[in-house]
Structure 1
Amino acid sequence: MAKKTEATVEDKLRELYNLQLIDSRVDEIRNVRGELPLEVQDLEDEVEGLKTRMSKLDAHTEELSQKVKDKKNLIEESKTLIAKYSEQQKNVRNNREFNSLSKEIEFQELEIELAEKHIREFKAQIEQQKEVVDKSKERLADRSDHLKHKKSELSEILEETQKEENALLKMSEDHAASIEPRLIKAYTRIRTNVKNGLAVVPIERGASGGSYFTIPPQVQVEIASRKKIITDEHSGRILVDAALAQEQVEKMEKVFAKL
């Protein structure tokens, strides 16, 4: 019965370490991509923001241009009225009518002055907008080119790695399904909380892999016996002996080579 228990624990340790090797391989692939997907997303957001800004600027410029047209029309209307009132002044019967028409002419002249002032202001705004639009166009062209380059770069990496990553994720899922839920739960919790996602590590030079904390000799012997699952008291990682780790590394490298 003891022999059967020992084999069962050793099998669990091997499967856990296999799972770690698979998941670490996925991590390596994703590290190759690095921040590239986020860079692409940021660039896409920036390009979209620039397009939205330019659209608003174009709409505002169109609005200002329409205001210029409206003011020019108002000037023409005022000039027509001035001509009309000036003509009427020639046929007035008294000074009161003449003065009344003069006030109307004066009012229309003021309307023309105000409209011309507004036209100058609108045109100045249009020129300012054009400068902003030109700079935005340059920025948009630059960011669009950069986005195209980054997308191409990401596409190449994905093409090279996606097939392997998908195969590894399926392999990880299958391995996880063969391990009892309590161990998978512990493995996932440790992997989430420790550096580099290493939940199962071998003993290296008397310390747990990835740490400088020495494992007491008696504990190392117990780990090497493979009779129970032992965790590092400092990092919480599950520990395996170096020999078992090396055997599984060699085995899994052959599996990875076929992907």
Structure 2
Amino acid sequence: MAKKKEVTVEEKLRALFDLQLIDSRIDEIRNVRGELPLEVEDLEDEVAGLNKRLEKLNADLEKLDHNIKDKKNQIEESKALIKKYNEQQKNVRNNREFNAISKEIEFQELEIELAEKHIKEFYAQIEQKKQVIEQSNERISERQAHLDHKKGELNEILSETEKEEQALIAKSDDYKKDIEERLVKAYTRIRENVKNGLAVVPIERGASGGSFFTIPPQVQMEIAGRKKIITDEHSGRILVDQELAEEQRQKMEKLFAKM
């Protein structure tokens, strides 16, 4: 059985930097989308909330209409009772009966007055709610138009980038399989802990990429020797020399161009 070829440190560094270039490309695609998915989600929630509020306002209107009908029926009932009591007064036998019926008539007249007052209040509430409904409809139309626009933007970006993104994600997974697990874990941990997702960076002007901390010349020589994996003591990033980085960039650009 053929002995499995031992992977050199240089090969590990090249594989890690290739993986970084792929993942950075994915990051760039996602950055193009930016906050759009969240904006779309927020707008969808806002429109849903406005529609729910509109439903409640329309339900309130129906309830007010029902209340007005009830009060109008109550007025008609009171009027009918007043008519009946007026007829009864014509046939009373004494003042006590007359006064008792007069009190009933007075009570029904007060009921009519109170019902008419409530009806006026209900109509005032209806007018107020209609104004709010009109404003809500305008707001919904405006937010829905904004949502449709943002959805259009997002769909356009997705149609342009989704295929490439999925291909890159698959490529990233493939590259991880060829790198020993402990290095992939270290790489992933570093990526999660740094702002720009750069876990593997080249030396630029004597410092690790994106850092202002100078790397001692002796350490720079060790990095250029590619005999061991060295991390930046300040950021924890894995360091590679500029020449290796440039070679891998050119190689990966050719790969990206085919996607």
The interval holding the TM-score normalised by the smaller chain is over 0.9
1:109 maps to 2:109? yes
Match of 2:156 in 1: 156
Q: Distance in 1 between matches of 2:215 and 2:169?
A: 32
Aligned position for 1:135: 135
For the pair 1:74 / 2:74, whether they are aligned, the reply is: yes
User: How much has 1:121 moved relative to structure 2?
Assistant: 1.0
Partner of 1:92: 92
Deviations 1:123-170 (A, max 9, x none): 111111111111100000000000001001100000000000000000
Structure 2 match to 1:34: 34
State the aligned residue count. 255
The worse-fitting range, judged by mean Cα deviation, of 32-41 and 176-185 is: 176-185
5+ long unaligned stretches in structure 1: none
List runs of 5+ in structure 2 lacking aligned partners.
none
Partners of 2:28 and 2:20 in 1: how far apart?
12
Amino acid aligned to 1:45: D
1:204-224 Cα offsets, whole Å, 9 max, x none, are 111100101111111011000
Deviates further, 16-25 or 116-125: 116-125
Q: 1:212 corresponds to which residue?
A: 212
1:76-131: CA deviation from partner (whole Å, max 9, x where unpaired): 11001101101111111111111111011000000001101111111111111111
TM-score (norm 2): 0.97
2:43 aligns with 43
Coordinate RMSD, CA, aligned: 0.9
In structure 2, distance between residues paired with 1:195 and 1:69? 65
**Residue number in structure 2 paired with 1:252:** 252
SS at match of 2:196: helix
Q: For 2:8, what is the secondary structure of its paired residue? A: helix
The 5 Å alignment of 1:184-223 reads: 184-223=184-223
What per-residue deviation string (whole Å, max 9, x for no partner) do you get for residues 160-216 of structure 1? 000000000000011111111110111011011112000000011111001011111
In structure 1, what is the equivalent of residue 183 of structure 2?
Answer: 183
Match of 1:124 in 2: 124
Letter in 2 for 1:140: I
Deviation of residue 75 (structure 1)? 0.3
SS at 1:203 equivalent: strand
Equivalent in the alignment of 1:238: 238
Question: Identity across aligned pairs (percent)?
Answer: 74
Measured in 2, the distance between the counterparts of 1:178 and 1:95 equals: 111
Distance 1:246 1:194 in 2: 22
Residue in 1 aligned with 2:166? 166
Aligned to 1:64: 64
Which residue of the partner structure matches residue 225 of structure 1? 225
- Greater than 6 Å deviation, 4+ residue runs: none
Query: Distance in 2 between the 1:45 and 1:195 partners?
Result: 29
1:176 and 1:111 map into 2 onto residues whose CA distance is 83
Distance in 2 (alpha carbons) for counterparts of 1:41 and 1:168: 26
For residue 8 of structure 1, report the CA deviation from its aligned partner: 1.1
> Helix, strand or coil for the counterpart of 1:91?
coil
CA distance in 1, matches of 2:110, 2:102: 12
Give the match for residue 10 of structure 2: 10
Provide the rounded CA distance (Å) in 1 between the counterparts of 2:208 and 2:113: 86
Q: TM-score, normalized by length of structure 1?
A: 0.97
